[in-house]
């Protein structure tokens, strides 16, 4: 096995990137209020902000886009999309949406009443935001090992089954309109969920009559981890494993900007016909007709091809190998990360890396800023800024258990030498972490603070 699995593609079109001088990076940060979401992308050298919609499409996807049928209703593109949806996901009903959060919005709009709770292993920020925006309570019940960055479990995204059962018994089924699980668990380090855990979660939800909805953004990566790590699946294809996963659920939300290998798109799928009727009404009101859901026909074609490419084994081996390579090299350099690496990102453990900074000094944000200043690298804080909030009763700040900076890997975009550069920059930052200053939030919206908060150095 080579230490780095070569990219299973060659480059046929290039997009220039450039490292601007340090004084320009400093000026850009000041102009951006130290929030990397406010940077211009041409100020960024290696953009690891997200793996969402930032991937490179294949020649087959671009070719499929030319076949896009832009008919308002019943387009050929929709039917090609539907054929792949039926094969891979197999739910009775679905609508395309323009991205994952649109699916979450419609899901919560049609099912959630104020005061109700939605359990999951860990909700991602937009899911959490959509639940809170409807007056609901997102509840994270991932197993406790997920909060130990050094724990080496194969499936650190697994739900704590006892906690799920107790939660349902205490809360009452009437207060839980649906339950979820996120595969892989993005907010907790991109960690996979095992088939055994998915099956057990499904059984618990079904025992209590609670519809089970999978946040399926990285379903192909999750399927590959099951193939590599779970007994009994080594000989199954990622497609077969995906089919085995979805048959356990009553519905799914999806951002096709991840394992759809596309730059835009998503879907909401459900088995229940009555619920689906409400979904269609909401979709038509806000997104578009049920056969395009806010997308162009060509987007549906790109995603249909993308779903199948995401399940190809040589692609998945390279994808998982890339994250493993970056993770190993960072650990060798003494940079603390969430272990073991997932597939779509490396998560830096900012709390361990900058122990001199209290949580209120926002170590994750400080590290995010340092990455850009030192090397023109853009990551994202997933810690106090993204997941912290003020207690509605006391006003006291509530800190999430993990203080992370995510370096997401866009699909099929960067090569091994880009990853080596990231390691070099982090090694340099590691050698002078004592000099890093904390940050203060000077402006923050109530929900999804990391997207638009302003900061200044302490």
Binding site for ligand PLP (CB under 6 A): 52, 99-101, 124, 126-127, 182, 186, 215, 217, 255, 257, 266
Nearer to ligand PLP, 99 or 291 (CB): 99
Taking the complex as a whole, the smallest distance from the CB of residue 186 to ligand PLP amounts, in Å, to: 4
How far apart are the C-alpha atoms of 172 and 117, rounded to whole Å? 10
Nearer to ligand PLP, 29 or 245 (CB): 245
Burial of 447 (0-12, 13-18, 19+ CB in 10 A): middle
Nearer to ligand PLP, 344 or 412 (CB): 344
Taking the complex as a whole, the smallest distance from the CB of residue 255 to ligand PLP amounts, in Å, to: 3
Taking the complex as a whole, the smallest distance from the CB of residue 57 to ligand PLP amounts, in Å, to: 16
Nearer to ligand PLP, 116 or 182 (CB): 182
C-alpha radius of gyration, the chain, whole number:
21
Taking the complex as a whole, the smallest distance from the CB of residue 185 to ligand PLP amounts, in Å, to: 8
Taking the complex as a whole, the smallest distance from the CB of residue 345 to ligand PLP amounts, in Å, to: 10
Taking the complex as a whole, the smallest distance from the CB of residue 99 to ligand PLP amounts, in Å, to: 3
How far apart are the C-alpha atoms of 50 and 345, rounded to whole Å? 8
CB atoms within 10 A of CB 393: 6
How far apart are the C-alpha atoms of 155 and 159, rounded to whole Å? 10
Measured from each CB, the residue nearest to ligand PLP is 100
Taking the complex as a whole, the smallest distance from the CB of residue 100 to ligand PLP amounts, in Å, to: 2
For 99, the 3-state DSSP assignment is coil
Is residue 212 within 8 Å of 201, Cβ to Cβ?
yes
How far apart are the C-alpha atoms of 229 and 326, rounded to whole Å? 20
The full DSSP string for 391-443 is: -TTT--EE--S--EEEEE--TTT--HHHHHHHHHHHHHHHTTGGG---EEEEE
Nearer to ligand PLP, 319 or 329 (CB): 319
Nearer to ligand PLP, 28 or 409 (CB): 409
Nearer to ligand PLP, 128 or 373 (CB): 128
Is residue 256 within 8 Å of 55, Cβ to Cβ?
no
């Amino acid at each position: 096995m080579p230490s780095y699995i070569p990219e299973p593609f060659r480059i046929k079109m290039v997009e220039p990137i450039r490292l601007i001088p340090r004084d320009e990076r400093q000026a850009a940060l000041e102009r951006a209020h130290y929030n990397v979401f406010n940077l211009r992308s041409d100020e960024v050298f290696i953009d690891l902000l997200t793996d969402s919609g930032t991937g490179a499409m294949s020649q087959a996807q671009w070719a499929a886009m030319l076949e896009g049928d832009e008919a308002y209703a019943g387009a050929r593109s929709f039917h090609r999309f539907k054929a792949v949806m039926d094969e891979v996901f197999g739910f009775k009903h679905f609508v395309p949406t323009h991205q994952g959060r649109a699916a979450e919005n419609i899901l919560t709009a049609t099912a959630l009443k104020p005061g109700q709770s939605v359990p999951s292993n860990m909700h991602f920020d937009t899911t959490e935001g959509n639940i809170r925006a409807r007056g609901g309570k997102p509840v994270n019940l991932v197993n406790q090992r997920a909060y130990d960055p050094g724990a080496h479990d194969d499936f650190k995204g697994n739900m704590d089954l006892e906690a799920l059962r107790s939660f349902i018994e205490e809360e009452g089924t009437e207060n839980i309109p649906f339950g979820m699980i996120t595969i892989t668990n993005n907010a907790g380090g991109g960690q996979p969920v095992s088939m055994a855990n998915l099956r057990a979660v499904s059984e618990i939800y079904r025992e209590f009559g609670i519809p089970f909805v999978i946040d399926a953004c990285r379903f192909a990566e999750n399927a590959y981890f099951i193939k590599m790590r779970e007994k009994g699946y080594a000989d199954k294809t990622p497609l077969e494993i995906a089919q085995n996963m979805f048959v356990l659920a009553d519905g799914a939300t999806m951002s096709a900007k991840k394992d759809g290998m596309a730059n835009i798109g998503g879907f909401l799928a459900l088995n229940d016909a009555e619920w689906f009727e409400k979904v269609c009404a909401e979709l038509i009101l806000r997104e578009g007709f049920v056969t395009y859901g806010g997308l162009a026909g060509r987007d549906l074609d790109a995603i249909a091809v993308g779903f199948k490419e995401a399940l190809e084994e040589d692609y998945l081996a390279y994808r998982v190998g890339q994250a493993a390579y970056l993770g190993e090299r960072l650990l060798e350099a003494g940079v603390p990360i969430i272990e073991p690496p997932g597939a779509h990102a490396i998560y830096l453990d900012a709390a361990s890396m900058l122990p001199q900074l209290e949580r209120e000094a926002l170590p994750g944000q400080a590290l995010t800023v340092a990455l850009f200043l030192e090397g023109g690298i853009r990551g994202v804080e997933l810690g106090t800024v993204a997941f912290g909030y003020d207690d509605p009763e006391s006003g006291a700040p509530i800190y999430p258990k993990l203080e992370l900076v995510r370096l997401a890997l866009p699909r099929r975009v960067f090569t091994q030498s880009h990853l080596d550069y990231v390691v070099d920059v982090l090694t340099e930052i590691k050698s002078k972490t004592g000099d890093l200053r904390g940050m203060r939030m000077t402006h923050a919206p109530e929900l999804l603070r990391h997207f638009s908060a302003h900061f200044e150095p302490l």
